Structure 1
Amino acid sequence: MTSAALNVSTLQDQLKALARREGILKWDLGANRSSSASVQVDRGQAKQLKAAQRSSITIRVWNQQGLVGITSTSDLSDSGLEKALMGAHQASCFGNPDDVPGFSPLATAPEPDLHRPIQDAQGIQCLLKQLLDAEQQLLDRHPAIGTLPYNAMNEGSSERIYMNSEGALRQAQRTQASVFLMARAEETGRKPRSGGAVRVALGSRDLDLSGCINEAAERTISHLNYQPIDTGRYLVCFTPEAFLDLIGSFSSMLNARAVLDGVSLSKADSIGHQLAVPFFNLTDNGLHPAHVGAMPFDGEGTPTRALPLIRGGCLESFLHSEATARHFGVDPTGHAGMGAKVSVGADWLEVSRSPSMTTGAEHLDHTTTRDCFVLIDSLSALHAGVKASQGAFSLPFDGWLVRDGERISVEAATVAGDIRELLHSIVHLESKSVITHQGVSPHVWIDGLAITGEA
């Protein structure tokens, strides 16, 4: 299915006619389409070339008892839509009466003005040529760099559609490209070391390849001269990427669905509670200009918007779907998927400091401070080392012990703690915010974090 092949007005008319014929009064539909091309290389040769096209629609039907049935399909023919609608209608007999989603009250509200120009694809052969050149440039940066075990370059387009029986009709398209380079370096008698970098853009022509190569090389080379670190508690500085990874792993404490399901650190009455130091702010800003994957509405048709989650250290909002918002008596926030039980998730986290507040530690700067501290560059094993419902984490990391401005790569170590204690132990947020591929954050300083070195 191509974007030109999908006529939403025709699709809407087909569903209206089918629903009218079957006596179905309430229904909605969500559709997603994507096409992508990706390449991987290995020592000057193509390792994998892959192109894919995917499409799916999800139809929900409410029966006369108010219960919901749901069906998903990739068949957009007349017969495919009919089977999906009928299947959802039949499934509604088995809907859960204790958890019934509804239409978002904002599904027909004006959409935000989201300026994301559609970019033309270069094609898989161009991607391959560029990635082979990038690999060679990275291998040439240092004699110890022998391979790029993980690398990929891809480009693609996607489309999202939402419509319902009350007249909501939304359609949005986007293009997106990315490159990932992970170098591996090894010296005789020493452990292998690695470092990587990611770049994203609206199109593959706009990817900052040279910046990605430079960053991957610098990170890898900086870890060659490693030393063990003593176990203890340290002043720690998280790079923006590392801190966003950590806070994102505990996003369930900001998620209303997780709260209602009892798998969140937060409770239904946690709004207004102090979660962090008073100068800490956290916003989910799906409309940020740097968020190349932005969409103007979510899976329920609710417009995307910037949502303050933590302001002045206090929990201000949860991420909501229609159902969770109805339970809490608020508006949906534009963070829902689509399903019989709707999922909720963050878009683009933005960490900032309250502009009128000082931290009392303005002397801390990861580039100039003479204090002894650990600079954590990246975290590993987030899927295994985070217990989101308990608040605990124990994660291997790559980083450096910094003394008098000199960086010494840490051989192998883990950082451990509790996210609630960590947020109250932040001593400084640097003034410069850094845009990453996953969000925006300054360097974040935390005092007294436990670090365990390799025995």
Structure 2
Amino acid sequence: MINTEIIANYAKSSAKELGINKYDIYGSSIDETSVEVDKGEPKQVQASNRSSVIVRVWNEKGTVGVTSTTDLDELGIKLALETAKEASSFGHTNNPPDFSPQAKESIENNGDEIVEAAPVPTLIDTLIEAETNLLKAHPAIQGVPYNGLSQEDIKRFYLNSEGSLRQEARSYAVIYLYSRTEEEGKKPRGASSMKISRGLETLDVDGCLKEVTEKTISHINYQTIPSGKYTIVFSPKAFLSLIGSFSNLFNAQNILDKQSLSDLESIGKEVASPLLSLCDDALHPDNIGAETFDGEGTPTRRIELIKDGILGGLLHSSGTAKRMNSQPTGNANIGAKVTVGSHFYHVFSNSEANPQYNLDEAENVIFIDQLQALHAGVNALQGSFSLPFDGWLVNKGKLTSIDAATVAGDYLTLLKSIVCVESEAEVTPGGVCPRVWVKDLSVTGE
């Protein structure tokens, strides 16, 4: 793993030798082991160590040069600083980045969370057992073509020439299963599930197996549905994928680049139903992938994006915050250009008027489990989407798998058409979210 203090010393001595007064460095190192299996036999076993470091150097004119390296010894850091110094002559003079004003603020609960890695044979045996049980669950399940079990240790750090020095290390274990059915006279059907935890001992392998089994069996007997307007119930995973696809709504960099569904005047305006509240909460207790600082060294925190339907906040880097007279929010990713991204969404409702609908009582509603083709079916700048999905037609608790259908609409209209945000939330890798009910969405079926 990376030794941050040694890198800081390398950078300090090399910068002095090169006549560099202002610089910062962000980097990460990943130790990963992963396995895949096929019909009870190991299919692929991989082990890797990957390091990536971004170096920025400011010259006397205030413009910035950026370079990257994977060579973390003294010579590698020196060459990266020298290259970035040369590149600074060609840096943009229009709104150049600067250090985050919060890069030296103290961070609470910044302890490492490293779990001892399990042996590779244990990973293989665990995944083979899961695959075997899935294949035994139903005669129609003929394969598990996509599967994987991995564990990794990630260390991140940030340092700059003004004395900021941050680092953290985390361990993760992830299992993924995707099933495939084959029955004569029927289309192949499939389902997937993924679980993440701090280590293999706490990884919910049984929960992953149960989820993918139940979903697969529920999709075997399917039927077509007529096209029309339906009340749609989005699963937590499906709703979060929509939020992510249209995250330019609250991304300050997108707004400044005029690549957003909102603008500089949107703060304080209604963008969704009063039933919806949304936060980006990197430090949420259920966020296994919690990060305590961003690529600029800014501490992460809970950011209120939408409150009772009102756009209340944006995600900022130090640069966008300065241009918009705000504060950095800990959402910056540094590179050739500083970008802004989310961490971990939390969807909920504060409204006392939020009704509680129940799938056991609903009639002729569609429950969407997973949206497909998000890369092709979303126009993030226009706000439109047309997406195939996996889901069920629900009538008083009875779920009937839908053969093939597409849901389409306008994202801002969808947000304002929310009629229920259920009270019971589910933890997913991308956030915490309950099921969300939306009225009158167009579905193209039979």
When normalised by structure 2's length, the TM-score is 0.98
Is the partner of 1:433 in helix, strand or coil? strand
Partner of 1:431: 423
Q: Aligned letter for 1:392?
A: S
Partner of 1:62: 58
1:421 is the counterpart of 2:417: no
Residues 113, 169 of structure 2: 8 Å contact kept: no
Distance 2:108 2:426 in 1: 25
Match of 1:166 among 129, 137, 162: 162
Partner of 1:383: 375
Residues 110, 168 of structure 2: 8 Å contact kept: no
Residues 234, 451 of structure 1: 8 Å contact kept: yes
Partner of 2:403: 411
Match of 1:357 among 328, 331, 352: 352
Is the partner of 1:308 in helix, strand or coil? strand
Residues 68, 340 of structure 1: 8 Å contact kept: no
Match of 1:203 among 160, 185, 199: 199
Residues 172, 198 of structure 2: 8 Å contact kept: yes
Q: 1:292-318 CA distances to partner (integer Å, 9 max, x unpaired)?
A: 111110110000101110011111111
When the two structures are aligned, how many residues end up with a matched partner? 446
Shift of 1:22: 2.1
Shift of 1:399: 0.6
- Root mean square deviation, CA, Å: 1.2
Shift of 1:100: 0.5
Distance 2:198 2:358 in 1: 32
Shift of 1:258: 1.0
Match of 2:240 among 241, 244, 247: 244
Match of 1:119 among 115, 129, 147: 115
Partner of 2:105: 109
Residues 275, 419 of structure 2: 8 Å contact kept: no
Distance 1:197 1:340 in 2: 35
Distance 1:96 1:113 in 2: 37
Is the partner of 2:183 in helix, strand or coil? coil
Shift of 1:395: 0.5
Out of 113-122 and 412-421, give the one that drifted further.
113-122
Residues 190, 219 of structure 2: 8 Å contact kept: yes
Partner of 2:365: 373
Distance 2:263 2:225 in 1: 38
Describe the shift of the 1:179–1:260 C-alpha distance in structure 2 as closer, same or farther (beyond 3 A). Answer: same
Partner of 1:446: 438
Matches within 5 A, 1:82-161: 82-114=78-110, 117-161=113-157
Partner of 2:19: 23
Shift of 1:128: 0.9
Distance 1:61 1:437 in 2: 35
Unaligned runs of 5+ in 2: none
Partner of 1:182: 178
Partner of 2:282: 286
Partner of 1:302: 298
Q: 1:49-76 CA distances to partner (integer Å, 9 max, x unpaired)?
A: 1111101211100001110001111111
Shift of 1:279: 2.0
When normalised by structure 1's length, the TM-score is 0.96
Q: 1:136-164 CA distances to partner (integer Å, 9 max, x unpaired)?
A: 00000000000001111100001111000
Distance 1:91 1:429 in 2: 50
Q: Percent identity?
A: 45
Shift of 1:389: 1.0
Match of 2:390 among 398, 421, 433: 398
Q: Aligned letter for 2:390?
A: D
Match of 2:75 among 69, 73, 79: 79
Shift of 1:10: 2.6
Shift of 1:77: 1.7
